[in-house]
Amino acid sequence: MEVAEDNGRIELRVLAADHFRQGVVTRYRFLIDKKRRLPAGVEESTPDGLLKRKVTFRNLRVNIGVADSFFQLEE
């Protein structure tokens, strides 16, 4: 795993087994906004760097108006 900072973001880069495809190794890059401490994006690439997927998060906010009971599971 590699950790770096760039343009107000924290980058986590890791080479790991793909949990959805057995025997496939995938390179992931997670981007976290330093100011908000929220995800800014995720990239999935082949081990040699060929980009397969990219997800960008924009305008993420924490909704403090959700009641705690929303997260309670009924038994």
Query: Domain map of the chain by residue range?
Result: 2-59
Model pLDDT, residue 75? 66
Contact 60, 39 (CB under 8 A): yes
Residue 62 has pLDDT above 80, yes or no: no
Q: CA 38 to CA 57: how far, in whole Å?
A: 9
Residues 12, 29 contacting (CB under 8 angstroms):
yes
State the Cα angle at 11 between 5 and 51, rounded to 5°: 135
The pTM score is 0.74
Please write the tens of the pLDDT for every residue from 22-54. Answer: 899 999 999 999 988 899 999 999 999 999 999
pLDDT at 69 over 90: no
